[in-house]
Amino acid sequence: MDRRNHYAAEGAKPLHCIVKLGGSAITCKNELETINEDNLRVVSLQLRHGIISGPSHGMDWSRRPGSTEIETLVDDFDDELESDCKRLIVVHGAGSFGHFQASKSGVHKGGLSKPLVKSGFVATRISVTTLNLEIVRALAKDGIPSIGMSPFSCGWSTCERNIAAADTSTVVEALDAGFVPVLHGDAVLDSSLGCTILSGDVIIHHLAEHLRPVYVVFLTDVSGVYDRPPTEPDAVLLREIAVHEDGSWSVLQPKLQDASRQVEITVAAHDTTGGMVTKITEAAMIAKLGIDVYIVKAATEHSAMALRGQLPKNIPNDWVGTVIRLAN
């Protein structure tokens, strides 16, 4: 049986949510390989409260630098009691990890025969897997049974930057075993270019298409999607975007007073994965599947509501974020 249709075919417990931790939200994007510890801590707690019912135990049993002991409370574990954990997948961006290495070496452009590109490929993977480990560690500390999964190591690859191979069976097996898979944007092999960068947003679209979560949440460093860079004084937050069957999309809320006003999307010069352009494109493709997408600022009361699953039925007027859904 094709494991990609596992949930639909076998009627298993549905996938609750796919969460994208934006690189700019969980790292200090202007400081090389620096994690935004405060945001990551809050997001981790919000995820725990959103998916775990009942008691939870810390799961990081590693020895921290400078420590001589491993802190565990094994006597507190009760074999008869296990918290119920909703099925969840986490995918995170790279932020200040990986982008520098990839852009300086040109990994996203391909050309593994060049020594600089091959070195950059290795350096990029060292960087992004380092971040993945720290995110898994943060989630584990809060009792979330998270398992790091690198697309490259799981056999994901591309052809001309489009996904060519992406076996989701390992992800499904981890979910079935009660774990939370944590994937990330990664340097992968490309059958045409030699190599490229597979973005977390593209990974989320592929997972959503095959595993059909109830909804998807993008946690970012801004409040949602704006009609122009949010740093501009006249930028307007787009609260609801409708995606049509042909893939086009339109703004439902708010009604832009200037009908000729166009939505402008920009990409940072160092971003090798397309930035907001890729995010909007992939979010629209997910919404076409009938899956609501919520884009919201991380570590806020609004992200907490999204992660708890309080938005699919009713969007409160005071909720700050962007909803992207299939047009009626």
Question: Which residues define the annotated binding site for substrate?
Answer: 94, 99, 200
| pLDDT tens readout for residues 123-136 | 999 999 999 999 99
Q: Would you say residue 279 lies in a domain? A: no
Backbone CA torsion sign across 319, 216, 37, 273? negative
Kindly report the CATH number assigned to the domain that includes residue 200. 3.40.1160.10
Look at residue 272 and tell me whether its pLDDT is greater than 60. Answer: no
Q: Would you say residue 143 lies in a domain? A: yes
Whether 278 contacts 286, CB under 8 Å: no
Domain assignment of residue 12, given as a range: 4-52+84-223+290-321
Q: Would you say residue 40 lies in a domain? A: yes
Question: Which residues define the annotated binding site?
Answer: 20-24, 94-95, 99, 200, 221, 275, 279
Tokens of 97: 């990890």
Q: Would you say residue 62 lies in a domain? A: no
- Whose structure tokens read 């806020």? 300
Look at residue 14 and tell me whether its pLDDT is greater than 70. Answer: yes
Omega before 254 cis (within 30°)? yes
| pLDDT tens readout for residues 276-328 | 566 778 888 999 999 999 999 999 999 999 999 888 777 899 999 999 999 98
Question: Which residues define the annotated binding site for ATP?
Answer: 20-24, 95, 221, 275, 279
| Distance of alpha carbon 56 from alpha carbon 52, whole angstroms | 8
Q: Would you say residue 252 lies in a domain? A: no
Whether 176 contacts 12, CB under 8 Å: yes
Structural domain total, the chain: 1
Look at residue 208 and tell me whether its pLDDT is greater than 50. Answer: yes
Q: Would you say residue 171 lies in a domain? A: yes
Where helices occur in the chain by DSSP H, the ranges are 6-10, 23-26, 37-51, 99-105, 115-141, 169-176, 200-211, 275-287, 301-307
pLDDT, position 11: 52
Q: Would you say residue 240 lies in a domain? A: no
Contacts of 87 (CB under 8 A, 6+ apart): 13, 14, 15, 16, 175
> What are the DSSP calls for 235-275, one per residue?
--EE-EEEE-TTS-EEEEES--SSTTPPP-----TT-SS-H
Instruction: Give the helix, strand, coil percentages of the chain, each rounded to 5.
Output: 35, 20, 45
Q: Would you say residue 146 lies in a domain? A: yes
The predicted model scores a pTM of 0.90
